[in-house]
Amino acid sequence: MPCWRAVACSNVVSRATYRCARRGIALVSVLGMLALAAALIAGAFATATAASRATRTTRAAIVARESARRALGRAVAGWQAMDDSLPIGAFVLRTSPESSGVALDSANTRIRVQRLSLTRFVIAVDVTVPAVGPTLARRRMRVLLERPPSPDSTTLLAPRPLVRWPVAELY
């Protein structure tokens, strides 16, 4: 039977052995730090990409909304005698591409003027941004107009928008 003192002394690890066992910890910790840095960089890149897309989409939505408002204003302000001669239920389509300095701000605008009754018209506008390529934003607007009949053929009375109307009076 061995001495307890010999067994206790044989369990002691020398400093040289302890130093050799700890030598691989530096490599593992450096690899862990590199993995953490790579994850942080990937997260920052994903966040920047998402913010860029959101900004581009918001800008396209603003351009589409304002282009639709401009198109409605142009259609009402530039009312043509041809629109007055439409039969009830007929419509006229007009397209107008809007270009700008930036390609993403270009818009393709379609305007539809339809006669509903003798004095009522509807103007519908459909705008897509950008004019070419994948669509980032689309905006549709409609306005119901009442245009009183002109007393003679030489005067054109301006149409006025109807704010609220009952459904029974549309036809």
**Using one digit for the tens of pLDDT, what is the confidence trace for 112-157?**
999 988 888 999 999 998 878 888 899 999 988 888 776 666 666 6
Establish if 83 belongs to a structural domain.
yes
Positive or negative torsion for Cα 71, 73, 74, 75: positive
Higher pLDDT, 119 or 31: 31
Report for 3-7, 17-21, 32-36: range of highest mean pLDDT: 32-36
Establish if 54 belongs to a structural domain.
no
Establish if 65 belongs to a structural domain.
yes
pLDDT at residue number 51 = 93
Contact predicate 109/64, CB 8 Å: no
Count of domains forming the chain: 1
Render pLDDT for 54-107 as a digit per residue (tens, 0 to 9): 998 898 899 899 889 989 888 888 888 788 888 888 899 988 877 766 667 788
Question: Which residue reads 């439409």 in tokens?
Answer: 86
The average pLDDT across 25-34 equals 90
Contact predicate 130/107, CB 8 Å: yes
Q: Tell me the C-alpha distance between 156 and 97, whole Å.
A: 28
Establish if 47 belongs to a structural domain.
no
Establish if 53 belongs to a structural domain.
no
Establish if 126 belongs to a structural domain.
yes
Helix (H, G, I), strand (E, B) or coil at 80: coil
For the chain, the C-alpha Rg in angstroms (whole number) is 37
The yes-or-no verdict on residue 165 having pLDDT over 80 is: no
Q: Tell me the C-alpha distance between 127 and 140, whole Å.
A: 6
Domain membership of residue 135 as a residue range: 61-169
Establish if 26 belongs to a structural domain.
no
Sheet holding 107-115, edge to edge: 91-98, 107-115, 120-129, 137-146, 160-161
Contact predicate 102/125, CB 8 Å: no
Residues in CB range of 76: below 8 A, 6 or more apart: 123, 143, 145, 158, 159, 161
